[in-house]
Copies of this chain bind each other. A is one copy, B any other.
Amino acid sequence: MSAGNRKFRKILIANRGEIACRIIWTCKEMGIRTVAVHSDVDRDSLHVRYADEAACIGPAPSAQSYLNIPAIISTAEIFNVDAIHPGYGFLAESSYFAEICEACNIKFIGPKASVIRLMGDKVEARRAMKAAGLPITPGSSEPVTSEEEALQIAREIGFPVIVKAAAGGGGRGMRVVRSADELGAALETASTEAAAAFKDGSVFLERFIDKPRHIEIQVLADEYGDCIHLGERECSIQRRHQKLLEEAPSTVLSPQLRAEMGAAAVNACKKIGYSSAGTFEFLLDQDNKYYFMEMNTRIQVEHAVTEMVTLADIVRNQIRIAEGEPLGYTQDDLMIVGHAIECRINAENPETFAPSPGRITAFNLPGGPGVRVDTYVYAGYMVPPFYDSMIAKVITHARTRDLAIARMKRALEVMVIEGIKTTIPLHLKIMDDPKFRAGDISTGFMEEFLASEGQRNPISANASRA
């Protein structure tokens, strides 16, 4: 340890599932002891087994366990941990939780609470990023207060526009509006949805970009103002704003554009005093212009594709940075080798997307060159109905995108999960889709794909059409 004298002996992981396992794996490699917390239905979960110590912190519902801040802090104090890694979801972007950790002298592995709070408010984040020089989509910089105001703004930026929840995410509180007469109703539904989902009905307006790509830049920043980016991820394959499949690199980013977007993200990090790993999400329009959407101030599900093409361990870097270590890399150290794809395997009906919890009766993972599987389930495991349906991530890596696709296809073909339904068949179909294979994708891909599959998908259609 060079700086800060903050080397961790023990970390509590305030999460479950594959990301909890993922964090424990890296802690083991670093010689750091781990404490798992779990709900009472998760007693048999692998993160509990893998951790050096574990405590049951509450019943199944997240609000009483994985979101139960007093129980988590109590456990951290009882086990005398140095730091808490929040993973993704649950408390990962709770500035309140980060603050409590700080107050308790437990290092929160992530950026400062104030930065989390800033980037957690979409309106504030847009304002800050605009000030930091990032291009943003034309739109209201404040929540709209009336239909009249909204109409005026919409006319300024031009239809179609999109109404978004200020506190939002996950597609809730979002409506595309193609003409003035649709605006009133859209504002009302979006605001109602936002209020229900986030307890905050504020909405704002933005220009709607047709068939954009979702491109995000991974950054690593230390506590001394040093920052680099690790290139981009292509995450356009989404359903109802939930990513299904991610790639690195994107087929449409030239080295110049990558360098430009990367530099813009790095510059923004420095402006807001960001530290830890983070992700800038951009929309890329059909002319390859990019617009800042939002920043995720945490590790992401899809971090693995970046790890495959860069050989970096992003979780290790998060921990090192939180320990007070300087970054130790310069932008010139970045090397992107080959192409990586990640498929999220969810315990869902691959046609209706209905959750499919239950007991896994047979389980077999793909192996061989260029295949990585991050999972927390095993033969005999009971997938509980209480949490996120993602049970595994399959990542393939090869010299070219074509080979990475061929590798993904065979990996999914030999992957066996019986007893529950999973999205494996869906991903297999995507691998065979001519547009996907050609790299001709946008955030509208899945809607078209599912329509051509003859699927009814009313909710998704609703969310992005009107």
Contacts and interface: CB of A to CB of B under 8 A. Distances in A.
B375 A367 contact: yes
Contact of A28 (B304, B365, B372, B410): B410
A461 interface: no
Nearest to A413: B28
Contact of A368 (B22, B378, B398): B22
- Interface secondary structure of A, over-half rule: mixed
Interface string A402-416: 010011011101101
B369 A373 contact: no
A365 B373 contact: yes
A312 to B, nearest CB: 8
A30 interface: yes
A25 interface: yes
A21 B338 CA distance: 24
A56 to B, nearest CB: 21
A378 B406 contact: no
A328 to B, nearest CB: 12
| Contact-size category for A | 35 or more
A31 B369 CA distance: 16
Nearest to A365: B365
Interface in A392-429: 397-399, 403, 406-407, 409-411, 413-414, 416
A407 B29 contact: yes
A124 to B, nearest CB: 34
Residue with the greatest number of chain B CB neighbours at <10 A, chosen from A29, A311, A338, A410: A29
A398 B29 CA distance: 11
A30 B406 CA distance: 7
A403 B316 CA distance: 11
B368 A25 contact: yes
Given A337-B337, A367-B374, A414-B50, A29 B379 contact: no
Given A28-B409, A29-B403, A399-B311, A372 B368 contact: yes
Interface string A348-390: 0000000000000011111111111111001110000000000
15 contacts: A25-B366, A25-B411, A25-B414, A26-B368, A28-B409, A29-B407, A46-B364, A46-B414, A307-B369, A311-B397, A311-B398, A313-B369, A313-B370, A378-B379, A378-B416
Closest 4 A/B residue pairs (Cβ): A28-B410, A379-B379, A29-B406, A25-B368
